[in-house]
Amino acid sequence: MSQQTPHVVIVPSPGIGHLVPFIEFAKHLVQHHKFRVTCIIPTVGSPSDADRAALSSLPPTINHVFLPPIVVSFDDHSTAESNENTNPLIFAVTRSLPPLRDVLKSLMSTTHVVAFVADLFSTVSFDVAFEFNLTPYLFFPSNAMALSFVFYLPKLDEMVSCEFKDLPEPVQIPGCVPVHGRDLLEPVQNRQSEVYRWFFDITKRHVGLAKGIIVNTFMDMEARALKALLEEPGKPPVYPIGPLTRVGSSDPDDVSGSNCLTWLDDQPSRSVLFVSFGSGGTLSRAQLNELAFGLEMSQQRFIWVVRTPNDESSSAAYLRDQISDQKNPLDFLPEGFLERTKDRGITIPRWGQQVQILSHGSTGGFLTHCGWNSVLESVVNGVPLLAWPLYSEQKMNAVMLVKDLKVALMRPKPNEEDGLVIREEIAKVVKELMEGEEGKRVRKPVKDLMNAASKSLMEDGSSIKHFQS
């Protein structure tokens, strides 16, 4: 490949949930445009095993460089996106700008770099792109609804003086299902906070600087939201090119849980519920206990990726290396649970092979935190969801999945007194998804969406056309 082959630089913000879709995007760039790609990755702590696994087995046209790790101190109360002064994502990207500049300089001396792509949390790196006269693009690994909200926020901020969660009426984001203020994304939940000001600034200043915005969704999934985004003037052009999802192993060394795939082979078709809260989601001790009893009472088959519980934060595992967690999450399960459920359930500590589990014919439901990668991975496999949103934009995603697309059931409401979703309610909704009428009701829309997803990625499909434009 000659030095003149057009080269694209991509800069994901830290976290496997950002890296995964960026890598799939890189594969498309290579396949459809014959570009070369270099992925320059700011990291918090050191790169995780999941990061390394996601980057293994890529073609030689896609290179990667980890920037020197940035040390972020996580106190027990910090979450991935709500820590007041040191949002770890922004902190890491901002601190990584000098080495990013060095890597870019050296790359530009040997290759023909034509574009620079960052995500929302790494848009601070646009300034470096401008220094090198590069055209910056925004890659938005979430959906059109969240992107639409990014554009709508300045207007909402102007119209509303109270906290959004106190609004009596749902918020009407253009082209989207109405969402209650308390379900809007996490950084806007406290308007007095640093993180709100930072988010507001990014939406107002950085996003508009992008030459184009690439979003990981597709027409049939979010037609109205996309139409609103594509038609409203004054925005950079938007390219819906999804669903970009991973195929193959997320962990070649299979640190835990390879036997779960063999176990799945022996289960009846569509009979197993997969339970996982993404790369970072954590439950409190009490909630973990209720979930365990709920799964047991439901009498359904399950595979559950169990994390060490955390009573302070629902994203306590985010950006922390799962494998180096010294505690054994299974020790936090109720006494006798593993023995009592061994004939119908598998528990995997910390990290599971999500894509393989979701694509297995025995998997019939996914209890998920509604991270966008997880949602898309479920949809492309036609697996209906049980929405249990925790942080970030997950509550908005859940509303879209349940109310608009009708491919998911919502987990029961937490108790007013202690915020717990109790075991009886969990058992009921799990049973409903796997064997009840409501479960049947969501199966058809999710199958339709699966077929539409596959069409959108065909040569003449909507996403490929947007990709080529």
Stretch touching ligand UDP by CB under 6 A, among 97-105, 171-179, 230-238, 369-377: 369-377
One symbol per residue from 261 to 290: x for binding ligand UDP (CB under 6 A), - otherwise; what is it?
A: ---------------x-xxx----------
Quick note: the x/- pattern for ligand UDP over 375-414, rule CB under 6 A, is --x-------------------------------------
Which residues, 6+ apart, have CB-to-CB distance to 56 below 8 Å?
252
- Reading the block at residue 399, the tokens are 């509303």
Upstream peptide bond of 243 is cis (omega within 30 degrees of 0): yes
Can 325 be counted among the known catalytic residues?
no
Q: Enter the DSSP assignment of 70.
A: B
From the list 18, 28, 369, 466, the catalytic residue is 18
Give DSSP secondary structure letters for 146-207.
HHHHHHHHHHHHHH--S-GGG-SS-B--TTS--B-GGGS-GGGS-TTSHHHHHHHHIIIIIG
Q: Which of 119, 183, 220, 251 is catalytic?
A: 119
Residue 305 sits in the site that holds ligand UDP (CB under 6 A): yes
Among the residue ranges 209-217, 373-381, 442-450, 458-466, the one whose residues contact ligand UDP (CB under 6 A):
373-381
Token pair listed for 26: 């890189």
Q: Using N-to-C axis directions, what is the helix angle for 16-33 and 372-379, rounded to 10°? A: 60
Which of 267, 374, 378, 463 is in the footprint of ligand UDP by CB under 6 A? Answer: 374
Told to judge if 76 belongs to the known catalytic residues of this protein, a careful annotator would answer no
What residue spans of 252-371 are helical by DSSP H?
A: 259-265, 285-298, 337-340, 354-358
Helix, strand, or coil (residue 217): coil
Residue 223: closest CA among 141, 144, 140: 144
Q: Tokens at residue 221, please? A: 């999934």
State in angstroms the smallest separation of the CB of 354 from ligand UDP: 3
- Whichever of 293 and 351 has its CB closer to ligand UDP, that residue is 351
Nearest-CB residue to ligand UDP?
Answer: 17
250 interacts with ligand UDP by CB under 6 A:
yes
Pick 20 or 104: Cβ nearer ligand UDP:
20
Residues 218/462, Cβ–Cβ less than 8 Å: yes
CB 141 within 8 A of CB 372: yes
Among 22, 302, 351, 467, binds ligand UDP (CB under 6 A): 351
Question: Which residues, numbered 317-336, are part of the site for ligand UDP (CB under 6 A)?
Answer: none
352 binds ligand UDP (CB under 6 A): yes
Return the number of the residue (20 or 176) whose C-beta is nearest ligand UDP.
20
Site residues for ligand UDP per CB under 6 A: 15-17, 20, 246, 250, 276, 278-280, 305, 351-352, 354-355, 371-374, 377
